[in-house]
Amino acid sequence: MMNIIDTNARATIQDLGRFGFRSQGIGHAGAMDGLALQTGNLLLGNPANTAAVEIPLGSLTLFFEQDTPFCITGAFYEAYLDEEPIYSYWRYTAKAGQIVRLVRARIGMYGYLCVQGGFSITPVLGSCSTDIRAQFGGFEGRCLRQGDCIPTAGNGKTMSVIGIAPIPLRNTLYAVPSSEYQFFNRRAQFRLRQNRWLLQSNSDRMGYRFNGEPLELKKPLEMLSHAIQFGTIQVPPDGQPIILMADAQTTGGYPKIACIVAADLGRLSQIRLGSRVQFRLITMEQAQLLYKQNLTYLNQIQRIAHVTS
């Protein structure tokens, strides 16, 4: 059992998300940084899609009722096991009753507390992810709060301490052109690539909103609502792009200028509010190569965990 002592973060239970239901209007949900979630799980010997606690920026204090191997991935947190500093992307074992404190994220936005064996959470529509808007999934369909007791599914065995190198974060993100790219004028296409876009403070798990020189269409474009996905860059009438994130709606009617490649969705999620980013357009073949590099990294983590468990 994991017991929440205190938190000021909108922490939720998330796995890689809910697939196959978007045609019914049910969103994806899931981890904002899927690569970080998978990395933490593989380091603990879990299946990559095991549910973990996602912590956006804020603090979380907890203890386990039995010995529990755990790790923190994603955002780089100031964190402690009792009074000893602990570090992101390192595997530790918390003895029964020891206090784990995540104080604040120093780098990045979303941290992941992964535990050996995961949590005993009943899947809803094939996923343990929390859908906050619809109030289902995860732990009672809501954010975690003081006094919550979440059942864990670990075996109570100690694992050795080991650290790994994370895939580096960066503020240059790769994207591929979307279906309406050709309807934007050349100035807009140039600005998309050359602007240093400012991430606005009203960004959240639904969408990351950017500010910069506006992106303009060649002429007004009337569109029916259509399917959209995590990473889609929509451009509303004011010309300021919005990137759809894990909790985005399933359909939209704004023109799409590009889509962040799957390999960079985790990096995108870790951009701090008020930071500036640049987009670089690449081909589908280049995007697939980047994705394969992420898979190679995860395979390496799995091998490391196997020989050090």
pLDDT tier, 156 (very low <50, low <70, confident <90, very high otherwise): confident
Say if residue 50 is in the same domain as residue 141. Answer: yes
The answer to whether residue 115 is domain-embedded is yes
CA angle 159, 292, 53 (to 5 degrees): 40
The answer to whether residue 24 is domain-embedded is yes
Say if residue 135 is in the same domain as residue 184. Answer: no
Say if residue 250 is in the same domain as residue 121. Answer: no
Share of the chain above pLDDT 90, in %: 96
Say if residue 7 is in the same domain as residue 25. Answer: yes
The answer to whether residue 306 is domain-embedded is no
Q: Give yes or no for a contact between 265 and 233, defined as CB atoms under 8 angstroms apart.
A: no
Q: What is the pLDDT of residue 306?
A: 86
The answer to whether residue 245 is domain-embedded is yes
Say if residue 148 is in the same domain as residue 260. Answer: no
The answer to whether residue 101 is domain-embedded is yes
Assign residue 286 the CATH number of its domain: 2.40.100.10
User: At which of 166, 194, 210 does a domain end?
Assistant: 166
Say if residue 154 is in the same domain as residue 191. Answer: no
Q: What is the pLDDT of residue 8?
A: 95
Mean pLDDT of 265-280: 98
* Domain range for 121: 2-166
Q: What CA–CA distance (Å, rounded) separates 90 from 161? A: 7
Q: How far is CA 67 from CA 3, 17, 250, in A?
A: 13, 28, 41
Say if residue 11 is in the same domain as residue 33. Answer: yes
Q: What CA–CA distance (Å, rounded) separates 140 from 206? A: 20
Mean pLDDT of 256-283: 98
pLDDT at 308 over 90: no
Total residue length of the chain: 309
Q: What CA–CA distance (Å, rounded) separates 291 from 263? A: 5
Say if residue 190 is in the same domain as residue 55. Answer: no
Q: What is the pLDDT of residue 89?
A: 98
Show Cβ contacts of residue 101 under 8 Å, excluding neighbours closer than 6 positions.
Answer: 59, 60, 61, 79, 80
The answer to whether residue 119 is domain-embedded is yes
pTM summary value? 0.96
Q: What is the pLDDT of residues 46-97, one digit of tens each?
A: 999 999 999 999 999 999 999 999 999 999 999 999 999 999 999 999 999 9
pLDDT tier, 266 (very low <50, low <70, confident <90, very high otherwise): very high
The answer to whether residue 90 is domain-embedded is yes
User: At which of 166, 195, 211 does a domain end?
Assistant: 166
Say if residue 79 is in the same domain as residue 145. Answer: yes
Q: What is the pLDDT of residues 170-213, one digit of tens each?
A: 999 999 999 999 999 999 999 999 999 999 999 999 999 999 99
Say if residue 141 is in the same domain as residue 187. Answer: no
Show Cβ contacts of residue 149 under 8 Å, excluding neighbours closer than 6 positions.
Answer: 1, 2, 3, 4
Say if residue 58 is in the same domain as residue 106. Answer: yes
Say if residue 148 is in the same domain as residue 194. Answer: no
Q: Give yes or no for a contact between 160 and 309, defined as CB atoms under 8 angstroms apart.
A: yes
Q: Which two tokens stand for residue 179?
A: 């279906």
The answer to whether residue 304 is domain-embedded is no
Domain count, the chain: 2
